[in-house]
Chains A and B, each alone.
Chain A
């Protein structure tokens, strides 16, 4: 049985119930599987039976999508309790959540919505992450978002905000290179510079994923974080760039919509594995803090 408390610095995949039978049968060489915490918050039934079985063979990463860490209201303590139950039961090697909000005044909107980067929200996010970490009794990874809008009031750029949150809470970070690319195109940021400035020594996991393309009213390109296909070339280039600084990081290929069959997803895992191998064999550019 695999030690469930550590994830190897290898390529992993989103776990989807539709792939379960084939994964069990073929035992693919995958570093880890990541599940959405909220899918395992029911009392019992097939989801739990599958995850119990899956964790016999693979390390598990639990990724929360509903905590609303950036929300102005306090965290939902019932939801924190549910998260704690999932984490206690499955002892995942990694646990992550988003720098985003999804619930306001009791209504859950089922999307990862943008948060302004101000002194006020910095204090709020820090308090919420402190709450999460003390409630579930372990360090969480905070993921950088993909965003489509900007706010009138901003005190920090995104990397500065995230760096400050990390310093004040001691949390780890999840660097989503697809989100970096999507937001950079949408807001005219320099994606390479973002990666250079990101506090890579605190990154515990990287996400890569596919995005969709649409147009703004003025005809300029807008990217949407759709998780509906293979990671684009620029996203893979950002992944390689990040890995030149540190290659000892597990990397997940995230795929949630328009799912391929297992083989299709596994091909993406292999692509990520190749990038990781290339980075491991290359000399590192800087020392790891």
Chain B
């Protein structure tokens, strides 16, 4: 039965050196061409999705990291743009990478970048749209955020690390402290934006993204240091993060 041969064939592709499985007549060298194709093409896909992770650890370390990941995690669909969704968690648990505590969060950010890159298109609104909302209806408005919007936090300055690597492969990171970051990723046009927000601004974006009305978000967050809703709202419109304002009367 082809199904049984295929099961053996499939399993043997993830083994490093065993001879070809039952039903196949070929030298190990021949079978290894397939093993190599699978391993190399999937490692290459990870390198393409996580270029900053690769720069941070170097080519050789990345090859080892990717090899173990590929061995244990095959894509679950033919869409390589979705491959590596668990790479960040894998790095977190990968003890040889312990020395770079922010590596896992950089991987999360890079995967967020790719998700935003391929997300649905939508035209962002400018803040003028609010001038058409009657003043007494402002409290109740809710917002539809751009389909590409992703909000994430990190204990490390990952946007600074990420931005530094956009221009050079080995930037000086010595001046970066262990400051937490609040990050917004969005693609209002064709270019993905990676922005660092203040804690208050992030909490506001998160509240609006969860469907909270403007009034409710203001009430819930007014105690946060530096909370300034009109400034935060301007920031979100400027980022192209809002695609619809819904008046709830």
Residues of A bordering B, CB below 8 Å: 38, 41-49, 65-68, 71-73, 76, 78-79, 82, 101-111, 113-116, 118, 120-121, 124, 148-153, 186, 214-218, 222, 224
Contacts and interface: CB of A to CB of B under 8 A. Distances in A.
Contacts of B6: 71-72, 101, 104
Given A109-B10, A218-B27, 10 more contacts: A38-B79, A45-B121, A47-B118, A101-B6, A107-B10, A110-B37, A110-B45, A111-B34, A150-B26, A152-B23
Interface string B141-159: 0000001100000000000
A79 B78 contact: yes
A78 B78 CA distance: 11
A197 to B, nearest CB: 23
A151 B29 contact: no
Contacts, number: 136
B80 to A, nearest CB: 7
A83 to B, nearest CB: 10
B24 to A, nearest CB: 5
B31 A149 contact: yes
Given A43-B118, A107-B76, A108-B75, A149 B25 contact: yes
B74 A107 contact: yes
B189 to A, nearest CB: 9
Contact of A118 (B2, B20, B79): B2
Given A49-B190, A79-B77, A216 B30 contact: yes
A242 B159 CA distance: 55
B81 A42 contact: yes
Interface in B1-27: 1-3, 5-7, 9-10, 13, 20, 23-27
Contacts of A150: 24-26
Q: Which 8 A-B pairs have the closest CB atoms?
A: A66-B78, A42-B118, A149-B26, A44-B121, A72-B3, A107-B74, A43-B120, A104-B10
22 contacts: A41-B79, A42-B118, A49-B190, A72-B1, A72-B2, A78-B77, A104-B10, A107-B76, A110-B41, A110-B42, A110-B45, A114-B34, A115-B2, A116-B2, A120-B2, A148-B31, A149-B24, A149-B25, A152-B25, A214-B33, A217-B28, A222-B33
Nearest to A50: B190
A124 B118 CA distance: 34
A108 B168 CA distance: 34
Interface string B173-204: 00000000000000100100000000000000
B138 interface: no
Nearest to A149: B26
A153 B23 CA distance: 7
B97 interface: no
B38 interface: yes
B34 A151 contact: no
Contacts of A149: 20, 24-26, 30-31, 34
Given A44-B121, A151-B5, A111 B29 contact: no
B130 interface: no
A45 B119 contact: yes
Contacts of A215: 29
Given A79-B78, A152-B25, A215-B29, A46 B9 contact: no
B50 interface: no
B62 interface: no
Given A110-B45, A113-B34, A43 B76 contact: no
B111 interface: no
Contact of B117 (A41, A45, A108): A45
A222 B25 contact: no
A217 B78 contact: no
Contacts of A115: 2
A111 B38 CA distance: 6
A67 B37 CA distance: 17
Interface string B98-119: 0000000000000000000111
Interface centre among A110, A120, A150 (most CB of B within 10 A): A110
Given A42-B118, A49-B190, A104-B7, A121 B24 contact: no
Nearest to A224: B33
